[in-house]
Amino acid sequence: MRILLIFLFIIISYQSNAQYQSREVAQRYAGISYSLVFFTNPDVNKIYPTIDLNRSGLLSEVNGFFGYRINKYFAAEISPSFLFAKTNQGLNGFWFGGNSQRFWYVPQDASLFALGLNLKARMYPFASNSSNVLRDFYLSIGGGMMYFKEQYTNYLYNDSSYNAYVLSIRDDKNSVWAPNISFSLGYSSDNNFGYGFDVAYRIVPLPINRNTVLSTSNAGNFSSLNISAKILFNL
């Protein structure tokens, strides 16, 4: 019995040491995450709220990622993302146009598509101690480009009383590329099949050209707070 206990102790010690040593060498990982998106610009958030009660939907983004953990302290990853939102909640009327020709616009539907192409770097500040419960927490910074495509269906009136006849119905469209940078704090387990979470703030400045009535022409930024849940595979 004593020999068996000694043998089990040796095996457990070896496995623990092997798991720690695996963090010393490079390792690839891949996975997918689901994020709730909270636009911090109030003009954008009114049109695309995180919780859309009229549609019983959530404003969410799906991210794929493929990374390379260089050592136990640093990792780098490629992270494309996809977002689609469609809403008719909180779409109030507004004036738009030049001094000589202005109309009262009433949006009936708004839709937004966003595609992100980003690179990220992670740092694990507590990885030196394998027994530390914080060893798998990381800080991250990332950046790249995002593509936005937006469309409204608008009813045009000559005044804001809603008693006048509809002058016309038009679909306004706009698309734009914009840079973005994000900062995040997260956790990523180092098991072969693991899980994680991430809280990020993403800064996305947009040019204000006012050539359409859409928020991508007038809002100035599409910055957001993103809260993510992840599943991952260590390859």
Are the CB atoms for 115 and 80 separated by under 8 Å? yes
- What's the confidence (pLDDT) of residue 25? 60
In the chain, the domains with their CATH numbers are 26-234 (2.40.160.20)
The segments of the chain whose pLDDT lies below 70 read: 1-25, 54-56, 89-91, 98-99, 162-163
Q: How many CB atoms lie within 10 A of CB 104?
A: 20
- What's the confidence (pLDDT) of residue 128? 86
- What's the confidence (pLDDT) of residue 101? 78
- What's the confidence (pLDDT) of residue 119? 97
- Chain-centroid distance, C-alpha 2: 55
Q: How many CB atoms lie within 10 A of CB 11?
A: 10
- What's the confidence (pLDDT) of residue 98? 62
Q: State the Cα–Cα distance between residues 93 and 67, nearest whole angstrom.
A: 45
- What's the confidence (pLDDT) of residue 198? 95
- What's the confidence (pLDDT) of residue 13? 47
Please indicate, yes or no, whether the overall pTM of this predicted structure exceeds 0.85.
no
- What's the confidence (pLDDT) of residue 16? 43
